[in-house]
Amino acid sequence: MRFRLTSSAIDTDSARRELLDLGAGGYVSFEGWVRNYNEGQEVIRLEYEAFQELAAKEGERIVAEALQRFPLKHALCIHRIGALDLTDMAVWVGVSSVHRGEAFDACRFIIDEVKHRVPIWKKEHYRSGDSGWVNCERCAAAPIHHQRG
Amino acid sequence: MRFRLTSSAIDTDSARRELLDLGAGGYVSFEGWVRNYNEGQEVIRLEYEAFQELAAKEGERIVAEALQRFPLKHALCIHRIGALDLTDMAVWVGVSSVHRGEAFDACRFIIDEVKHRVPIWKKEHYRSGDSGWVNCERCAAAPIHHQRG
Amino acid sequence: MQLKIQYYALMREQAGRSEELLETSAATPAALYGELAARYGFTLMPEQLKVAVNSEFTDWSRRLSAGDAVVFIPPVAGG
Amino acid sequence: MQLKIQYYALMREQAGRSEELLETSAATPAALYGELAARYGFTLMPEQLKVAVNSEFTDWSRRLSAGDAVVFIPPVAGG
């Protein structure tokens, strides 16, 4: 499984070790961190929810595509689900390759595709007491605001 | 110092912690690993040597340029010197930013510039018994091969 | 026929449930979404959604069969 | 005048030393490199090198002063 979902903290040291290769000269990793502002709202915590069966399949396809498109040694992506706090790591992508150019390109490809294609959703909770499903509330026909309490 | 030279193993956990930021949503890191083949020769170990005073200055300028060119939170680069074995980490670059695009761009900018501008040299020792200073032997007027013993 | 419907994220909250077994005559996901949107007041338009049957993406015009597990997929936001 | 010359990497090996104090009449790094290349048989052409004086990059035509520390910089290979 080169795409994994986990409900506990992502163990990047162990994930990185899976990418070690005597023939690899370059290693690029990406981490998505929970940040305190999004679109002008102060975020205090997040929840990630996944359609797990399909997320695992689609994520695996993305990593397989990266391995086909770029001459890589190894690639791996791990996405966290559940409740996260500020600065927690939501997603990790790691890629190793002979030369660095393709490791950068492939790492970016994987995170871009994961964000667009994998059925995972993020609910932000704001300092104001509001909360919202990212990409769903603003584009919905009748935006909903969930008041605290 | 946002560019550092070290003669011991690079402590990436501690380096990464320096880049944490409540406002950062993306973190990209690059690691250069010692690989077992270069230009058709089997490499068994490496030595890195630096003109330390100028390397530190030029490296610092590169990271400062990255921080000016891209809207980053933090950036840091650490280069190892001395004797390295296969799969050892020779260089580490880490960048955090609000959005991931600039973290990828800045990380790549830093490693590209470091490789082109910082006075650090790499001597490869080959399985064959030969050794050579990378970028120096082949382009020299009279290539030199250092025989073992 | 009977279908199994699973709801995620905003649609889970709007439906007030994670899943249900539904007796329906809707022949396609498109027809099914119309039926469910009317019942639960979903705010997302079909154009904003994808649909999966039996844990694989599929077309809105696919023929549904008894026992199919259907998921409507709101705009994703992983990462 | 007396200069301090430091050698790195391939040039250190070819010169057989890391540094030396040198009494020279070379007025510029360009002239100095000619003198040293003749003595040590350096294989690198000046076009392949950069030059630093007192730990900062400088021009080949810079006027050297007594006490300057000069480093010729072979093609780099960090990373």
Asked if B30 and A26 touch (Cβ cutoff 8 Å), the reply is yes
Q: How many Cβ pairs within 8 Å bridge chains A and B?
A: 85
Asked if A112 and B100 touch (Cβ cutoff 8 Å), the reply is no
Which structural domain, as residue segments, surrounds residue D69? 2-73
Query: Is D58 a member of any domain?
Result: yes
Two tokens, residue B39: 């230009």
Residues A20-55: tens digit of each pLDDT: 999 999 999 999 999 999 888 999 999 999 999 999
Spatial CB neighbours of B58, under 8 Å, sequence gap ≥ 6: B117, B118, B119, D57
* Yes or no, beta carbons of B143 and D75 under 8 Å apart: no
Q: What is the pLDDT of residue A77?
A: 98
pLDDT, average across residues A1-15: 97
pLDDT > 70? residue D59: yes
Residues C38-61: tens digit of each pLDDT: 999 999 999 999 999 999 999 999
Query: In sequence order, what are the beta bridge partners of B43?
Result: B126
Q: Which amino acid is at A36?
A: N
Find the CB nearest C43 among A53, A115, A142.
A142
Q: Which secondary-structure segment (H or E) carries B103?
A: helix B100-117
Task: Using DSSP, state whether B52 is helix, strand or coil.
Answer: helix
Query: Is C78 a member of any domain?
Result: no
Q: Tens-of-pLDDT digits for all 149 residues of chain B?
A: 999 999 999 999 999 999 999 999 999 999 999 999 988 899 999 999 999 999 999 999 999 999 999 999 999 999 999 999 999 999 999 999 999 999 999 999 999 999 999 999 999 999 999 999 999 876 544 444 444 33
Q: What is the pLDDT of residue B36?
A: 94
Query: In sequence order, what are the beta bridge partners of A123?
Result: A47, A133
Residue appearing with tokens 């490791």? A103
Residues D12-56: tens digit of each pLDDT: 999 999 999 999 999 999 999 999 999 999 999 999 999 999 999
C55: region left, alpha or beta (phi > 0 left; psi from -120 to 50 alpha): left
Asked if B124 and B41 touch (Cβ cutoff 8 Å), the reply is yes
Residue B93: closest C-alpha in chain D? D79
pLDDT > 60? residue A79: yes
Picking from B41, B58, B26, the residue whose alpha carbon sits closest to that of residue B124 is B41
Two tokens, residue B64: 């400062």
Query: Is D79 a member of any domain?
Result: no
Which residues in chain A have Cβ-Cβ distances shorter than 8 Å to B26? 30-33
Q: How many residues does chain D have?
A: 79
Q: How many Cβ pairs within 8 Å bridge chains B and D?
A: 93
Do A and C touch, 3+ Cβ pairs within 8 Å? The answer is yes
Domains: count for chain D? 1
Residue B13: closest C-alpha in chain A? A13
Residues C3-26: tens digit of each pLDDT: 999 999 999 999 999 999 999 999
Asked if B141 and D44 touch (Cβ cutoff 8 Å), the reply is yes
B33 CB within 8 Å of a chain A CB: yes
Relative orientation angle of helices B100-117 and B52-69, to the nearest 10 degrees: 150
What pTM value is reported for the model?
0.93
Asked if B66 and B119 touch (Cβ cutoff 8 Å), the reply is no
Provide DSSP, A36-78: SEETTEEEEEEEEEE-HHHHHHHHHHHHHHHHHHS-EEEEEEE
Spatial CB neighbours of D77, under 8 Å, sequence gap ≥ 6: B115, B120, B121, B122, B133, B134, B135, B136
Two tokens, residue B118: 């910082």
Query: Is D37 a member of any domain?
Result: yes
- CATH number assigned to the domain comprising residue C14: 3.10.20.30
Task: Using DSSP, state whether B43 is helix, strand or coil.
Answer: strand
Q: What is the pLDDT of residue A149?
A: 37
Query: Is C56 a member of any domain?
Result: yes
Query: Is C9 a member of any domain?
Result: yes
Query: Is C79 a member of any domain?
Result: no
| Closest approach of D23 to chain B, Cα-based (Å) | 23
Q: What is the mean pLDDT of chain A?
A: 92
Residues C24-40: tens digit of each pLDDT: 999 999 999 999 999 99
Find the CB nearest C44 among A55, A123, A136.
A136
Q: How many residues does chain C have?
A: 79
DSSP structural state of residue C27: -
CA angle A95, A100, A103 (to 5 degrees): 25
Picking from A26, A30, A2, the residue whose alpha carbon sits closest to that of residue A97 is A26
Find the CB nearest B136 among D6, D10, D71.
D10
Two tokens, residue A55: 């997320």
Q: Which secondary-structure segment (H or E) carries C9?
A: helix C9-15
List the subunits that have 3+ CB pairs under 8 angstroms with C: A
Residue appearing with tokens 């979903």? C42
Picking from B123, B98, B99, B97, the residue whose alpha carbon sits closest to that of residue B110 is B97
Two tokens, residue B110: 């830093």
| Closest approach of A132 to chain C, Cα-based (Å) | 8
Burial of B94 (0-12, 13-18, 19+ CB in 10 A): buried
Spatial CB neighbours of B88, under 8 Å, sequence gap ≥ 6: B9, B33, B34, B46, B80
Q: How far apart are the first and last CA of chain D?
A: 38
Which residues in chain A have Cβ-Cβ distances shorter than 8 Å to C45? 141
Query: Is D78 a member of any domain?
Result: no
Tell me whether 0.90 is exceeded by the ipTM: yes
pLDDT, average across residues D72-78: 97
Q: What is the pLDDT of residue B149?
A: 37
Asked if C22 and C2 touch (Cβ cutoff 8 Å), the reply is yes
Quote the distance between the C-alpha of residue A138 and its chain's center.
21
Find the CB nearest C10 among A50, A55, A136.
A136
Find the CB nearest B20 among A87, A100, A103.
A87
